[in-house]
Structure 1
């Protein structure tokens, strides 16, 4: 009679084992309720960001500005140069944006995209973009593109630093290979007189390619350039017998190369980019140039005489370059014939008529696209902060209903609410800002209108001169703000910076804090800062010199590094570290949750939370009780850890980039969407 009971117990045991293996927890009288979710809080970040653009025509011949808007997904729009209204808007499925947008003579518009590394085309009169595929297998970015008179499309890629072509007759791609030894990006591209010109990223190299023969040669360095390393060939454009090459990011020198003479003939300082207009009837080209900080002005430039004409038409903010510039008729008094027209990065459209000198700006109505959430922080009960990827921006989000307040800003790498305001880690240049939520938001850097307010957030730190890029670590302890960053460009090594918490004054910057490793996360307490690193460099193709990621401790009072350890022989990146209320130190390494000794960094306990190699990515979030720790490992597995007993259990799977705890819920950033799971 006992056999059925024995069989029942065996079945129950097997079921429990299956539930545990799949990450689901069985509920019992003594257990907390099972997690509930996911609950969508929508897409809190949405904005306009134009990258690639060109002035062209619709199928009926009407002049428009073609522009690519970044987002998830990106879109391609035709904008009326008078009203600023989009006359056509088509998605570019699977892509995040497009730096290269060009129109062929037959009216076909092409877009080279990033995120998927594809080439799209929009035929005249079509309302859907055609996906032509990935030009070169393994190349995930298509940067600039250019179209030859015969309709052949050429483009530059990364991470292989290659040039490809697309033949519209044969519908075939061709791989011309890498353009320059040691260069992994073709950042810019131009066409002139049957030749392709490809600009590199990590150093100043302009390669001339003969597509008929495949022959390549390097153009000479401009006069006075003794050190090409670190000088990006950011923009290239050829008009007539001149090649225009802009160095670095705004403001950078625009170098002019005479293709007939085979020599660099002029340099225009402070050029904004990203493009130079086609020449007008008098041979002049038009672009923006900086004359004073915080703005740039449209100028006309004659490459033969090197004369410049200022127009008084200004663009304001940190980023003032054009995203499509050319000639088109504009309706209205003072705009006879064709005028110079174009867009700036946030959708402000400009126009200038060289005949009358009249200028104006109009806000275009191209719709913004959802922005991937890159940074997430708990902002008190029922509220979180979300920071955006490339479009940037900061959203304050209600966890009850997803209602969000959006502020336009930089790409945000990290967020840390403190008693003195919200600290914001920004890209590029590893900048730190502090925002007072009790006062109105205003940022002249990220407004395209003339300055008109008090800066809030206020900038506390800028590590451009230290060759830093992403400010990924923020911590506060013992009256100090401590930051950690990763490098920019083709370089290695992060910086640890210390600022006074009250005044925000910079006290020290410690470069190469861990040799040739960037700092990925920080936590702090009792005057000690703990951090993690990556062996990766400023770009994905930078060869590392170190083979193991590091955990370290730094004493802010003495200014000394207390210890550094490599808890894994194979982890290249360690991205999460935190302290519980008892001062115990926890990190995610190889997908496992580790407890480390705060005094030495020695691994005290390993919780085998991921079978096999879980990789370096991870997130940690401490509940309000100070001893319940949630870990996000392997990009999707959510683990609950009791830091007192070291007992842990898998909860559920949720693919996401970021995770934070807020008032009994875990909030997740999945692409542009914010999701909530009830866990307590």
Structure 2
């Protein structure tokens, strides 16, 4: 039956599972409606990216946000290492930090929002998004009266008055800097750590005047002042990408120490002897004395990342006075007593949550493979048994997946690391999937586009933060030998790839890594000859389109591509776009687009995919559109039988036509 005659669905809030055949004898059968089924949640994850600590007369507490499709604030009694309350954060998935005011009130920044938890409450107050247009809240600090928040993508600081709720927007802290990645408050000043060019700026709280505190010359090429804490008149920063820890004396106005490398994220409040603690990259808890300026390693080894530090009173002979406590990414509480040297690591009992799907791919054995954001992992779903096999630590955040010659290939963020998975063998962390390459040294970060080219795999990438110029990389998985070509289209990223005969067809996007404005205005198509290592053609795709997000070759040889919500056909002979159809409209006035649509050809020849948030199929001859599902994420694949799989947040759905 021609595609345009099939029943169309405007929404899939509810999908009918079956359309009955005609009741009149001899009448033709009515086609079955598409059937959508919720398959389940492929990825569960326990990840705490941000936490803060505080005390009240009633006890000592950690406030730790577990990331999920809806984040959860865990209120933890650090004296007993027990979760007292687990409270959802509506409209937010995760947090990078919070702060506790002197009366014990906790403020949490999560995505664009600010939340408040008052001690003993049974709910979290949603304070909304005090800085409209900012999508990400990073770290928080307070001066007892006001809470200060750093943001992305405008690189702002705003304050929220603890008593009155008044908001003050300090605006972009430094021209061109999109990230206020870390923040501290002391002596009437706010200290903002910026990126993607690492920069430290002091802001006067009352006047709003600002001045840069220049980093030492040898560190001015760093990307971020990633962590920042101020204790008395001493300021600590951790730089990224080097992870170097620097110490600045605010009274003297000079940098006074370099403490090696740290794992992040925080530097503790001082103990009674003026020691500030942090975790080294080698996994040891270190103590820096504010008065003497000396660095001393403790006996606490195997120490991980610190998602905030606090002090607890354990009321035990082995744990006299105040005990240092922190929480790790995996939800473990680490304790260290400065008086006795006692140390322990205890699970707080924080529960994992469904994780947002980042990529899915139909594998060569009929299973569906997926990776999650930002926790990564690799999960397979078997449609025959209905079983999921989760492997949360086996892979990082896969930006692109490709099934090719019986293997699954993954491009993983950060550092554009490249992996091969053999689906016929058990998943074993460190060996299957195995890493066969990396593009990090080539200043690439996110490999979204992947295609097979003979014995090699080609990856198209987004560069590092603050850079323009993605790359086309051809890598041999057997040997790791690679050819990397940056700026195939100058100052654009490579966001789509497919193989056309002996050539590679690529599509670009004008955006580079976060933190840098594009210099070009329109996406391009290009043809690359691997044999001669040359670009043999470059041309425009759709006027005004700023990113090409998918390219495929149909079994009949026709080439299809998409931007964001728009399907087009490309003729490789005339090297022109011959047809377009808009499935879902899109406004290009956005901060960036790295990926969107995914495409495949169904067994009946229809070109199907997710077009932004709409799952649809398009008749290749008439360009009529059959909309099948709406409200979906930009995650989609199709198996060999034409069954579609896609996501809404952390949930995997299946649809048959």
Q: Is 1:135 aligned to residue 117 of structure 2?
A: no
Q: Is 1:124 aligned to residue 119 of structure 2?
A: yes
Are the equivalent residues in 2 in contact too, given 1:476–1:501 (CA < 8 A)? no
Which residues in structure 2 correspond to 1:195-594 (within 5 Å)? 195-225=189-219, 228-249=220-241, 252-291=243-282, 296-315=283-302, 320-330=304-314, 334-380=318-364, 382-399=366-383, 402-408=386-392, 409-419=395-405, 421-443=407-429, 454-503=430-479, 505-524=480-499, 526-539=501-514, 542-589=516-563, 591-594=565-568
Deviation at residue 304 of structure 1 after TM alignment: 3.8
Are the equivalent residues in 2 in contact too, given 1:143–1:155 (CA < 8 A)? yes
TM-score (norm 1): 0.87
Which residues in structure 2 correspond to 1:607-622 (within 5 Å)? 607-610=580-583, 617-622=596-601
CA–CA distance in 1 between the matches of 2:587 and 2:164? 45
Q: Is 1:76 aligned to residue 93 of structure 2?
A: no
Are the equivalent residues in 2 in contact too, given 1:41–1:399 (CA < 8 A)? no
CA–CA distance in 1 between the matches of 2:314 and 2:217? 41
CA–CA distance in 2 between the matches of 1:437 and 1:20? 36
In structure 2, the partner of 1:630 is 608
Q: Which structure 2 segments of 5+ residues have no match?
A: none
CA–CA distance in 2 between the matches of 1:561 and 1:516? 15
Q: Which structure 1 segments of 5+ residues have no match?
A: 1-15, 444-453
Q: Deviations over 1:343-398 (max 9, x none)?
A: 12122332223333333323332111221111010024652111111122221123
In structure 2, the partner of 1:659 is 636
Are the equivalent residues in 1 in contact too, given 2:420–2:477 (CA < 8 A)? no
| Residues 1:275 and 1:442: Cα distance change in structure 2 (over 3 Å) | farther
In structure 1, the partner of 2:569 is 595
| Residues 1:458 and 1:81: Cα distance change in structure 2 (over 3 Å) | farther
Q: Is 1:166 aligned to residue 144 of structure 2?
A: no
Q: Is 1:110 aligned to residue 110 of structure 2?
A: no
Are the equivalent residues in 1 in contact too, given 2:6–2:626 (CA < 8 A)? no
Q: Deviations over 1:561-601 (max 9, x none)?
A: 23222112200011011011233211114633222123563
CA–CA distance in 2 between the matches of 1:332 and 1:37? 61
Q: Deviations over 1:507-565 (max 9, x none)?
A: 221122221111112222544322221101211x5221111111222222332223222
CA–CA distance in 1 between the matches of 2:270 and 2:48? 23
CA–CA distance in 2 between the matches of 1:199 and 1:303? 21
| Residues 1:154 and 1:649: Cα distance change in structure 2 (over 3 Å) | closer
Deviation at residue 203 of structure 1 after TM alignment: 1.5
In structure 2, the partner of 1:9 is none
The match for 1:148 among 143, 155, 165 is: 143
Are the equivalent residues in 2 in contact too, given 1:325–1:341 (CA < 8 A)? yes
Are the equivalent residues in 2 in contact too, given 1:42–1:402 (CA < 8 A)? no
Are the equivalent residues in 1 in contact too, given 2:222–2:239 (CA < 8 A)? no
| Residues 1:340 and 1:579: Cα distance change in structure 2 (over 3 Å) | same
| Residues 1:402 and 1:389: Cα distance change in structure 2 (over 3 Å) | farther
Are the equivalent residues in 2 in contact too, given 1:470–1:486 (CA < 8 A)? yes
| Residues 1:501 and 1:62: Cα distance change in structure 2 (over 3 Å) | same
Q: Deviations over 1:31-51 (max 9, x none)?
A: 994442321112211101111
| Residues 1:34 and 1:609: Cα distance change in structure 2 (over 3 Å) | farther
| Residues 1:524 and 1:331: Cα distance change in structure 2 (over 3 Å) | farther
Q: Deviations over 1:120-171 (max 9, x none)?
A: 101111111101121122222221110113x311111122211111112222
CA–CA distance in 1 between the matches of 2:8 and 2:371? 35
* Bigger mean CA offset, 661-670 vs 430-439: 430-439
Are the equivalent residues in 2 in contact too, given 1:78–1:89 (CA < 8 A)? yes
Q: Is 1:606 aligned to residue 584 of structure 2?
A: no
Are the equivalent residues in 2 in contact too, given 1:426–1:470 (CA < 8 A)? yes
| Residues 1:634 and 1:411: Cα distance change in structure 2 (over 3 Å) | closer
Deviation at residue 468 of structure 1 after TM alignment: 1.7
Secondary structure of 2:178's counterpart equals coil
* Bigger mean CA offset, 589-598 vs 194-203: 589-598
CA–CA distance in 2 between the matches of 1:497 and 1:420? 21
Are the equivalent residues in 1 in contact too, given 2:11–2:630 (CA < 8 A)? no
Q: Deviations over 1:299-351 (max 9, x none)?
A: 112244342222353448xxx42112222234778434333221121223322
Alpha-carbon RMSD: 2.8
| Residues 1:334 and 1:32: Cα distance change in structure 2 (over 3 Å) | farther
In structure 1, the partner of 2:170 is 176
CA–CA distance in 2 between the matches of 1:220 and 1:259? 12
Deviation at residue 19 of structure 1 after TM alignment: 6.9
Q: Is 1:41 aligned to residue 39 of structure 2?
A: yes
Are the equivalent residues in 2 in contact too, given 1:430–1:470 (CA < 8 A)? yes
Are the equivalent residues in 2 in contact too, given 1:374–1:413 (CA < 8 A)? yes
| Residues 1:579 and 1:66: Cα distance change in structure 2 (over 3 Å) | same
TM-score (norm 2): 0.90
| Residues 1:568 and 1:196: Cα distance change in structure 2 (over 3 Å) | same
